[in-house]
Chain A
Amino acid sequence: MNEKPQTLSVVVERDFAHPPEKVWRALTQPHLIEEWLMKNDFRPQVGHRFNLRGEWGGVLACEVRQIEPHESLTYSWNFAHEDPAYDLASTVTFTLTRTATGTHLRMEQTGFRPDQKQAYGGAKVGWRQFLARLDELLAKVE
């Protein structure tokens, strides 16, 4: 291929009725991250490697790539598996924009080049498993 490989990405955006400073705390303080995402040993420091541990036993290997306090946060989001077909490598970026009513939060997860068939496959299978366990968990909680 001569041109830059295309990547698949997912964008989810939402407006929150809370100021960016507060949303930022929820995105960067481990005990708060755990409340809405996963157990973790996150530190707001570029180069810091941490894990996100799912209730289903899966562990995501992450590394802080970029921090702009109250504005944006990027970390890698990788799911290692002994079988290369199940490997997943992606990057998650949160962007916060102050609005009249609070904060507009944009999450973009990108990776999975179309020519990386195995990575894509791993992502798909990995997430299917993840979401299935998540559903089980939510059912238990209710």
Chain B
Amino acid sequence: MNERTDAIFSALADPTRRAIFERLSRAGEQNVRVLTEQAGISQPAVSKHLGVLKAAGLVADRRDGRQTHYRARPRALAPLVDWTSEMAGFWESRFDDLEDLLKRMDQ
């Protein structure tokens, strides 16, 4: 268990941050002003959430004059995907054995 995985889970445990992350994943890069208009909370609150997401590696930022633009980094979700693939792999393999067993039960 590493600290980065911890950070990803804490970051996504908050529904507002999940919503921001999902929006960035779907809509592509957006600046803080646009994100604030959609989030229905204050700009400092949005910035704070973005800070947590950035610390977890889930978003990256880019300064452009006075604006900061954020984009999602879906690859940061790899630890979650890894877990589900491992589990799915385990059950696929068990189901292979179950299939063999069912065939033998006919005999």
**Contact check: which of A32, A109, A120 meets B101 at CB < 8 Å?**
A32
Q: Are B13 and A10 in touch, CB under 8 angstroms?
A: no
* Residue on A nearest B80 in the bound complex, by CB: A8
Whole-angstrom distance between the Cβ of A108 and the nearest chain B Cβ: 10
Query: Does A139 sit at the interface, judged by CB under 8 A?
Result: no
How many angstroms between the C-alpha atoms of A130 and B89 in the bound complex?
12
Write the A93-135 contact mask toward B (1 if CB under 8 angstroms, else 0): 0000000000001010100111101101111110110110010
A1-B14 in contact given A10-B91, A36-B101 (Cβ < 8 Å): yes
Stretch with Cβ within 8 A of A (4 or more), from B4-12, B20-28, B59-67: B4-12
**Contact check: which of A25, A36, A37, A120 meets B5 at CB < 8 Å?**
A120
Extra inter-chain contacts (15) besides given A3-B15, A5-B13, CB under 8 Å: A6-B13, A8-B84, A12-B91, A22-B102, A35-B101, A37-B94, A107-B91, A112-B83, A120-B5, A121-B1, A121-B6, A124-B79, A128-B86, A130-B90, A134-B90
Q: List 16 A-B contacts (CB under 8 A).
A: A6-B12, A18-B105, A18-B106, A22-B102, A26-B105, A32-B101, A35-B97, A36-B98, A112-B83, A113-B13, A117-B5, A117-B6, A121-B6, A124-B1, A124-B83, A130-B90
